[in-house]
Chains A and B, each alone.
Chain A
Amino acid sequence: MSSIHANKINPTRIHRSQFKYYLFLISLSAFMILPIIFMFSQSLKPINELFLYPPRFFVENPTFKNFYDLFNVTSVTVIPMTRFLFNSIVVTGSIVFLSITISAMAGFALSKLEFKGKKLLFEVNIIALMFVSAAVTIPRYFVVDIIGLTDNFLGHIIPVLAMPVGLFLIKQFVDQIPNEIIQSASIDGATNFTIFRKIVIPVIMPAMATVSILAFQMAWNNTETSEIYMNKETLRTFAFYMTTLTGNLENKVAGQGIAAAAALIMFVPNLIIFIFMQSRVIDTMAHSGIK
């Protein structure tokens, strides 16, 4: 029996027998984290270290000059970088808020209300989990164009709101709420909207946090809407601006520091949000299974 307890999955404390797992994990994660460390290091390098031969991995005399240049120099366009950053923040904020709202509402209905086409919607959504959006870039563009969302700020937001994964995760989570609770609230005269707001939302907070992370990553990292739907430079986002920095980057040594600084600005918000939400994500994902 002792061997079972020593090897337990999800152990509560550190034990000598876990040493081998730590050995694997620490060396693997040290390897995995290399590009991220490199990104940090590169963004802090002064210009002479970027040109150094042979190149060094770590920065020696860190400086914030690259960030300063990124904010002040408009090398590619005449539009200041802060404009793209502002667009990204507004777009991402709106997508996260709207997308979790519509997913939560639909997830509640799909799990607890009865209506025609309920089964169909769930099944179509399961199929949509396998949807490769890159395959329909072109027809999607036609739809966006016909509705009049090209060169329109809403064109960043509305086309990406429906997230099949989001609806799926939230629906699985709402399933955990016993029907009796909903029924008794209904008998007490609560409307569906009150039930949704007072009972369902508080319980599905972890799932909503998870979906908001996924929506955040999808929106913040999205270059497609700027590239395809927006012709006006001023409407484009920071992620798109990044792609202009990486063009021919191998031969633009001086630009590498600035590009790394921009990449860091792309990366850090993802990191911070995940740190705050990690345990909720794991909670939600426990219910993520497709049965």
Chain B
Amino acid sequence: MKMVMKKSVRRELEALFFVWPFVLTFVFFIVIPVIVAIYLSFTYFNTIQPPEFIGLKNYVNLLTQDNVFMMFVLPNTFKFSLIVGPGGYILSFWLAWLLAQIPKRSRSVLTLIIYSPSMTAAVAMSVVWLVVFSGDASGYLNSFLMGLGIIHEPIQWTQSPHYLMYIMITVTLWNSMGIGFLAMLAGMLNVNQELYEAGYIDGINNRLQEVWYITIPSMKPQMLFGAVMAVVGTFQAGDIGVTLSGSNPTPQYAGQVIVNHIADYGFIRYDMGYASAISVVLLVVVYGLSKICWRLFAEKD
């Protein structure tokens, strides 16, 4: 009996040796910050005085008092996420499918090209976008459109409440072929070839049916991974509006999405309690959306 005990303790310690560095950093910089955010969301905290417990007041204010949140942040986040999330995901899937139809050598080159805007930091890409969308007549887009006679006066693209959101969406779609795209490409290449042959014998007669009845069901785990990455990436990408317009809040709140609202309250107004409440809402929304993806793609068995 003693022997058995000793052995199991030893086993635990050995496993602990392998997991502790990860668990420690994971707990300190992911788990604890989430718990602290939940705690602070129930307090008033201005970083000078200690946090003061105020119950659900932050959440109540968020839903009833915060006009900016209701009028701009929520609709903007909704619009941005709805186009960039599913749009980027479908685009990734479509490009991955096209890439799977050609031989390896040319596929590698084209994958690299399609992936390259996504591997670059947003800040490096913003160098390009700021110059392209430059607001005077010598801006690249202005000059191009004026040359074609489509517009007659230069447009202040990134400062304009009309265009900022569209520019944010375009730019983000450009670099949304990230890790989810690679996962779907890999999943697609690993679908068992015999399934296709069997499918055609069973009466599949076009490529759309092939994708729907064979490709997607055979790569559900990768579809799910890609979907989760798309949801997270979309909400993480919201900073682009501030980078492009150079200010938080963005001009007339035109590009204000939820992550900017958090930064606005946290780092500009130092209302940490309120900022934390918005953070918690964001985490819950992302979790909920990921769960929906789970429903769609999880293997049912």
Which chain A residues have a beta carbon within 8 Å of chain B's beta carbons? Answer: 1, 3-4, 7-14, 18, 21-22, 24-26, 28-29, 32-33, 35-36, 38-39, 42, 51-55, 57, 101-103, 105-106, 108-110, 113-116, 118, 121, 124-125, 127-140, 142-144, 147, 158-162, 164-165, 167, 192-193, 196, 214, 217, 220-221, 223, 239, 242-243, 245-250, 253, 256, 259-260, 262-264, 266-267, 270-271, 274-275, 278-279, 281-286, 288-291
Contact = CB atoms under 8 A, between A and B. Distances in A.
Interface string B213-225: 0010001111011
Q: What secondary structure prevails in chain B residues at the interface with A?
A: helix
B232 interface: yes
B282 A132 contact: yes
Given A36-B117, A162-B29, A221-B123, A134 B236 contact: yes
B126 interface: yes
A21 B94 CA distance: 11
3 smallest beta-carbon distances between A and B, as pairs = A289-B221, A221-B121, A115-B15
A286 B112 contact: no
A54 B18 contact: no
A21 B123 CA distance: 33
Contacts of B30: 128, 131, 136, 162, 164
B187 A289 contact: yes
A250 B137 CA distance: 11
22 contacts: A4-B197, A7-B207, A9-B101, A18-B103, A35-B129, A39-B127, A55-B139, A102-B22, A115-B11, A115-B15, A134-B239, A158-B25, A158-B29, A161-B25, A162-B29, A242-B127, A263-B120, A275-B112, A285-B183, A285-B222, A288-B221, A290-B225
Interface string B124-166: 1111111111111111100100010000000000100000000
A130 B29 contact: no
Contact of A105 (B11, B18, B110, B188): B18
B18 A108 contact: yes
B259 A135 contact: yes
B74 interface: no
A165 B30 CA distance: 13
Given A134-B236, A161-B25, A289-B220, 14 more contacts: A4-B196, A9-B191, A21-B98, A36-B117, A42-B127, A102-B21, A132-B286, A138-B40, A139-B32, A139-B33, A221-B122, A223-B123, A248-B246, A266-B123
A167 B37 contact: no
Given A132-B232, A143-B36, A242 B123 contact: yes
Give the one of B22, B25, B104, B196 with max A CB within 10 A.
B22
B288 to A, nearest CB: 10
Interface in B3-42: 11-12, 14-19, 21-23, 25-26, 28-34, 36-37, 40
Nearest to A258: B127
Chain B's interface size range is 35 or more
Nearest to B226: A288
Contact of A134 (B186, B189, B262): B262
Contacts of A52: 138
A177 to B, nearest CB: 15
A133 B238 CA distance: 12
A29 B114 contact: yes
Nearest to B115: A274
B127 A260 contact: yes
A143 B37 contact: no
A131 B232 contact: yes
Interface stretch (B54-62, B82-90, B248-256, B272-280): B272-280
B102 interface: yes
B174 A35 contact: yes
Nearest to B266: A138
B255 to A, nearest CB: 15
A139 B34 contact: yes
Contacts of A102: 21-22, 25
A263 to B, nearest CB: 4
A132 B29 contact: no
A100 B201 CA distance: 46
A235 B122 CA distance: 21
A136 B114 contact: no
B33 A143 contact: yes
Interface in B269-301: 272, 275-276, 279-280, 282-283, 286-287, 290, 298-299
B14 A192 contact: yes
A134 B135 CA distance: 29
B99 interface: yes
B182 interface: yes
